[in-house]
């Protein structure tokens, strides 16, 4: 395991030092397609007022309002189903309706469903030994420590194999790395969360069927549900990641939850074996305190109501299934919380767990339903969230004057100006996205500002590529960026201001609307210079939590133990602060301007 530990440490310190060029140990190949090129689904869920399905509109609106009010939650999408009908659906600007969203570990439950299908087909058993499934030539004698490891151990996160999330950043052959790793105890003896367990379940699907997990599920699950706008990343060997990397629309996630609620039936067809759902959705192993009090099933988390369960992904990606209420709730968010237990989950539980019992008969309330619809419509258009970016050392900002006046002064001050930046490996993509997608920045070296057709553009050069994004003032404007051949949709919103010395300032928020991450930037202009102060969410606190979890859980080495010692963690904290919230200075440069204007995709006359 020393190789994986060293690779993880090298990655961490390269990120801290701002050296992201050639830092990845995993081959990068562009995979992600453009959402706009994906075919639309012709199969939508039916809609209804909440009262028609036994729930009050006011209760749905109160939940949606409270989630919006919680800055730590950063809610993106909510969808509520009862009796198979959508009774509440809210997309919070700038996150558009019917756009796919990263699911993170939510997709682990979908991988579990595929295993259930293989078992039902007689091609796999829970007690099958993992080593018996794969070619013996791909692992060494050390791998025989896993001789008692079964498929069920992978499903319940009790494999105790030491090849964990570090493997995804340390080598190209994850199957070999997993099967060639020692076990940290007796398999099945305790819960130890490890995304590579789920990856191995995906690899098992490929080993048995000859198809990727994505190809295996497409005709058996996705097509019958009308799920067409979907993408699932693969490892360098072409195996679907299984435990992460899935982009899925909220309504399609709701369909999968509703399918499970209907015991695997859809349009009179048994898509998922009933017996599998009955076994997968009950507790098989107790979990540590930070993961909640209800336990874990087969790639499923248990929830607070009796018989309820959750497909859960970090930062607020959830499909909650409440069988006794006949309800499904889907959330997408950018919460600055890592584990299954979170403020978002607690908020939903406050409304639908505990003592909540639906009324048998709810009178129609057109006025309350109208208010709910108005709230959902307004939040889909108006983005009221623009958090203040905390940047140490920045003087107090004065927001005096009308917004229109400040904006005109800013545009006049910045129009047509371009700047060469000091060398610093800061990219548009947040660090967490760079790591998850293995798509690391080449560093922004130049920035500038252009006005064309009364539109204001933020321009930048990252690596060799020149890009530009329209900035929205009242509402965010969406641009599709090409990052090393992968398209990412970014909503950009700006705000103008002055500092106490009268210097012009521009505040920008970059919302990666297919993701759970945002970037914030403050730019202060002085004479022919600028200073850029970056931040991102999820930020430093979450990365430190994840670092501690990944690097200390079930592993031990001098390097890791040294890094996580009390005295050292303060240094890591400081260095991460400089990495997550870097400051970059730049000098105005006419050559930068001329070079950029030769390369931008549309012709500008200034």
Please provide the DSSP assignment of 549-589 as one string: HHHHTT---HHHHHHTSHHHHHHHHHHHHHHHS-EEEEEE-
Q: Is the pLDDT of residue 577 over 70?
A: no
pLDDT digits (tens, 9 = 90+) for 176-196: 999 989 899 999 999 999 999
Are 151 and 115 in contact, with CB atoms under 8 Å apart? yes
Backbone φ and ψ of 449, nearest 5°: -140, 130
Q: Mean of the pLDDT values across residues 55-66?
A: 97
Q: What was the pLDDT predicted at 19?
A: 63
Q: Mean of the pLDDT values across residues 536-544?
A: 73
Q: Is the pLDDT of residue 128 over 60?
A: yes
Least confident among 325-334, 384-393, 444-453? 384-393
- Residue labelled with tokens 């004479």: 527
* Cα–Cα separations (whole angstroms), residue 455 to 87, 450, 470: 38, 8, 7
Least confident among 70-74, 240-244, 267-271, 347-351? 70-74
Q: Is the pLDDT of residue 22 over 60?
A: no
Would you state the structure tokens that stand for residue 297, as one six-digit string?
Answer: 């099933």
Domain spans of the chain, in order of start: 31-352, 397-546+580-599
Neighbour tally for 518: CB within 10 Å: 23
Q: What was the pLDDT predicted at 401?
A: 61
User: Higher pLDDT residue, 139 or 373?
Assistant: 373
Q: Mean of the pLDDT values across residues 263-292?
A: 96
Domain 397-546+580-599: give its CATH architecture. Beta Barrel (2.40)
Provide the pLDDT confidence category of residue 361 given band limits of 50, 70 and 90: confident
Q: What percent of the chain has pLDDT over 90?
A: 69
Residue 382: CB partners within 8 Å, gap ≥ 6? 93, 475
Q: What is the SS3 assignment for 328-364?
A: EEEEEECCCCCCCCCHHHHHHHHHHCCCCCCCCCCCC
Q: What was the pLDDT predicted at 153?
A: 98
Backbone φ and ψ of 357, nearest 5°: -135, 125
Q: Which fold has domain 31-352?
A: Beta-lactamase (3.40.710)
- Distance (Å, rounded) from C-alpha 539 to C-alpha 33? 27
Burial letters for 452-480: b for 16+ Cβ neighbours within 10 Å, e otherwise? Answer: beeebbbbbbbeeebbbbbbbbeebbbbe
Asked whether the domain spanning 397-546+580-599 has the same topology as the one spanning 31-352, the reply is no
Q: Is the pLDDT of residue 571 over 80?
A: no
Q: Is the pLDDT of residue 426 over 60?
A: yes
Question: From its phi and psi, is residue 379 left (phi > 0), alpha (psi between -120 and 50) or beta?
Answer: alpha
Q: Is the pLDDT of residue 315 over 70?
A: yes
- Distance (Å, rounded) from C-alpha 280 to C-alpha 8? 33
Beta bridge partners of 494: 508
- Distance (Å, rounded) from C-alpha 412 to C-alpha 371? 42
Provide the pLDDT confidence category of residue 509 given band limits of 50, 70 and 90: very high
Q: Is the pLDDT of residue 475 over 70?
A: yes
- Distance (Å, rounded) from C-alpha 16 to C-alpha 10? 10
Are 491 and 458 in contact, with CB atoms under 8 Å apart? no
Angle between helices 566-580 and 540-552 (to 10 degrees): 140
Cis before 94? omega within 30? yes
Cis before 538? omega within 30? yes
Q: Is the pLDDT of residue 394 over 90?
A: no
Least confident among 196-210, 213-227, 573-587? 573-587
Q: What was the pLDDT predicted at 424?
A: 79
Provide the pLDDT confidence category of residue 16 given band limits of 50, 70 and 90: low
Provide the pLDDT confidence category of residue 300 given band limits of 50, 70 and 90: very high
DSSP 107: G
Are 348 and 63 in contact, with CB atoms under 8 Å apart? yes
Q: What was the pLDDT predicted at 576?
A: 62
Q: Is the pLDDT of residue 471 over 50?
A: yes
Would you state the structure tokens that stand for residue 550, as one six-digit string?
Answer: 């990944």
Q: What was the pLDDT predicted at 340?
A: 65
Q: What was the pLDDT predicted at 544?
A: 61
Q: What was the pLDDT predicted at 389?
A: 42
pLDDT digits (tens, 9 = 90+) for 592-601: 999 998 887 6
Least confident among 302-311, 320-329, 432-441? 432-441
Would you state the structure tokens that stand for residue 354, as one six-digit string?
Answer: 């505990």
Handedness of CA 235, 239, 242, 245 (dihedral sign): positive
Beta bridge partners of 455: 452
Q: Which of 537, 511, 517, 536 is nearest to 96 (CA)?
A: 511
Backbone φ and ψ of 384, nearest 5°: -90, 0
Q: What was the pLDDT predicted at 469?
A: 96
Average pLDDT, the chain: 88
């Amino acid at each position: 395991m020393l190789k994986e530990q060293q690779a993880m440490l090298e990655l961490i310190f390269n990120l801290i030092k701002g050296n992201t060029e050639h830092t990845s140990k995993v081959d990068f190949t562009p995979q992600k397609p453009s959402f706009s090129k994906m075919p639309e689904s012709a199969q939508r869920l039916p809609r209804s007022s909440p009262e028609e399905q036994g729930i009050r509109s006011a209760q749905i609106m109160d939940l949606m309002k409270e989630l919006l009010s919680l800055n730590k939650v950063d809610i993106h999408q909510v969808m509520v189903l009862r009796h198979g009908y959508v009774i509440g659906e809210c997309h919070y600007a700038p996150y558009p309706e019917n756009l796919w969203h990263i699911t993170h570990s939510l997709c682990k439950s979908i991988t579990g469903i595929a295993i259930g299908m293989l078992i039902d087909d007689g091609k796999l058993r829970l007690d099958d030994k993992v080593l018996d499934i794969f070619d013996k030539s791909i692992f060494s004698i050390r791998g025989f420590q896993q001789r008692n490891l079964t498929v069920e151990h992978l499903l319940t996160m009790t494999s105790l194999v030491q090849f964990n999330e570090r493997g995804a950043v340390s080598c190209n052959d994850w199957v070999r790395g997993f099967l060639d790793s020692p076990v940290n105890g007796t398999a099945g003896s305790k819960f130890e969360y490890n995304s590579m367990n789920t990856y191995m379940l995906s690899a098992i699907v490929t080993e048995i069927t000859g198809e990727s997990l994505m190809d295996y599920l497409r005709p058996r699950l996705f097509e019958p549900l009308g799920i067409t706008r979907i993408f699932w990343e693969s490892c360098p060997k072409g195996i679907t990641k299984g435990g992460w990397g899935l982009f899925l629309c909220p309504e399609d996630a709701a369909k999968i939850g509703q399918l499970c609620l209907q015991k695997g039936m859809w349009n009179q067809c048994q898509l998922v074996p009933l017996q599998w759902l009955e076994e997968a959705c009950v507790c098989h192993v107790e979990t540590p305190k930070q993961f909640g009090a209800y336990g874990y099933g087969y790639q499923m988390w248990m929830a607070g109501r009796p018989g309820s369960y959750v497909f859960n992904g970090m930062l607020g990606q959830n499909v909650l299934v409440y069988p006794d209420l006949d309800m499904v709730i889907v959330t997408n968010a950018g919460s600055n919380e890592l584990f299954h237990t979170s403020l978002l989950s607690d908020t939903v539980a406050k409304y639908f767990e505990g003592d909540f019992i639906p009324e048998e008969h709810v009178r129609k309330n057109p006025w309350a339903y109208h208010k709910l619809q108005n709230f959902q419509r307004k939040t889909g258009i108006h983005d009221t969230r623009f958090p203040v970016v905390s940047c140490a050392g920045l003087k107090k900002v004065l927001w005096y004057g009308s917004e229109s006046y400040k904006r005109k002064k800013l545009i006049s001050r910045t129009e047509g100006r371009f700047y060469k930046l000091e060398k610093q490996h800061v990219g548009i993509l947040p660090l967490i996205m760079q790591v998850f997608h293995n798509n690391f920045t080449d560093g922004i070296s130049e920035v500038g500002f252009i006005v064309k057709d009364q539109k204001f553009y933020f321009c930048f050069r990252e690596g060799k590529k020149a890009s530009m994004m329209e900035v929205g003032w009242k509402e965010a404007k969406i641009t599709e960026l090409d990052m090393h051949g992968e398209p990412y949709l970014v909503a950009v919103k700006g705000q103008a201001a002055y500092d106490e010395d009268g210097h012009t300032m521009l505040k920008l928020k970059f919302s990666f609307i297919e993701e759970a991450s945002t970037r914030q930037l403050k730019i202060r202009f002085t004479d022919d210079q600028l200073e850029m102060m970056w931040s991102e969410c999820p930020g430093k606190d979450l990365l430190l939590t994840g670092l501690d979890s990944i690097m200390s859980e079930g592993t031990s080495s001098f390097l890791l133990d040294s890094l996580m010692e009390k005295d050292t963690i303060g240094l890591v904290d400081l260095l991460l602060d400089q990495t997550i919230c870097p400051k970059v200075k730049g000098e105005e440069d006419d050559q930068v301007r001329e070079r950029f204007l030769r390369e931008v995709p549309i012709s500008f006359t200034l």
